[in-house]
Amino acid sequence: MTATIIYGNQLAETLRVEMKEEIVNLKRKGIDPKLTVVLIGDHPASKSYVSGKQKAADYIGMDSELIQLPAETTEAELLSLIDQLNQDPAVDGILVQLPLPDHINEQLVIEAINPSKDVDGFHPINIGKMMTNQDTFLPCTPYGILTMLKLNDIDIAGKHAVVIGRSNIVGKPIGQLLLNENATVTYCHSKTANMKELVQLADIVIVAVGRARMIDGSYIKKGATVIDVGINRLDDGTLTGDVDFDSVKEQASYLTPVPKGVGPMTITMLLKNTIKAAINHAQK
């Protein structure tokens, strides 16, 4: 038996069609969600992510704006722009694409965004709400992963989830979301001594390390669900995940591909968060 492949792009398409309809209905009520994306410099991967976000917003009929600034933009200039966007009633969601150039303090920028417009879910207030299981903006990649698991009826409660990677954007929050869903969660990272033995215990494996094909079938318990968050470009230009797809698919019961897996879901959840922000703002 080989794994059922979870195509995030297909789920994303279904959700985007639903959101397109929701936007039409919201506009009838005078609610017009708007996302503003700020891109500093010309990091090639960031440019490509940002353009994916703009295209997805256009597709569902959501108003979006890209503010592109040179790499030399100062921290003060960026903070002043954020202040302006915080005060602009037309803007519902603000996303500052990371990473930022070294001369800008990323944490300061994240904390400058009004939590009610923080559609990335990176502000400490929103992280705190996520940790205490309150309604908030969930960070987009973890939110996308959780949605993929739920829409495929994959049991989470009582299962052992192993998260490989502890970044603020993916690893830490996905572990927390799985804990909120009553999984038993183990985090593995670069200092973990017995990673293979731990991963072999997992019913659900989330791999977010950024190393091409690091996890092969020998790590995976028969029947586990494996979510591959990695996007690695090989020397020949092809994209590959952190998971060795061919060997893992012989062990797993569910597996996400790269590309067409988690990536399209991340963007979709950003749109969902922006709609949520607009509804919240209209109720104020």
- Chain contacts with ligand GUN (rule: CB under 6 A): 95-98, 120, 140-141, 169
Least Å from the CB of residue 266 to ligand GUN: 6
Task: Let me know: does 278 contact 33? Beta carbons within 8 Å.
Answer: yes
Residue in 120, 203, 228, 242 annotated catalytic: 120
DSSP state of 67: E
Nearer to ligand GUN among residue 35 and residue 161 (C-beta): 35
Nearer to ligand GUN among residue 4 and residue 167 (C-beta): 167
d(CA 58, CA 71): 26
Residue in 97, 159, 172, 242 annotated catalytic: 97
**For residue 96, what is the enclosing H or E element?**
strand 93-96
Least Å from the CB of residue 171 to ligand GUN: 12
Least Å from the CB of residue 169 to ligand GUN: 5
Nearer to ligand GUN among residue 15 and residue 198 (C-beta): 15
Least Å from the CB of residue 205 to ligand GUN: 21
**Positive or negative: CA dihedral 85, 172, 214, 4:** negative
d(CA 248, CA 207): 12
34 is known as an active-site residue: no
Least Å from the CB of residue 97 to ligand GUN: 5
Nearer to ligand GUN among residue 50 and residue 188 (C-beta): 50
191 is known as an active-site residue: no
| Count of C-beta atoms within a 10 Å radius of residue 87 | 9
DSSP per residue over 113-143, as a string? S-GGG-TT--SHHHHHHHHTT-S-PPPHHHH
244 is known as an active-site residue: no
Task: Let me know: does 72 contact 65? Beta carbons within 8 Å.
Answer: no
DSSP per residue over 29-62, as a string? TT---EEEEEEES--HHHHHHHHHHHHHHHHTT-
Task: Let me know: does 21 contact 60? Beta carbons within 8 Å.
Answer: no
Output the residue with the shortest Cβ distance to ligand GUN. Answer: 98
Nearer to ligand GUN among residue 138 and residue 183 (C-beta): 138
Least Å from the CB of residue 170 to ligand GUN: 8
d(CA 170, CA 141): 6
Residue in 34, 53, 272, 276 annotated catalytic: 53
Nearer to ligand GUN among residue 120 and residue 203 (C-beta): 120
Phi and psi torsions of 235, nearest 5° = -60, -30
Altogether, the residues listed in the chain come to a count of: 284
Active site positions, annotated: 53, 97, 120
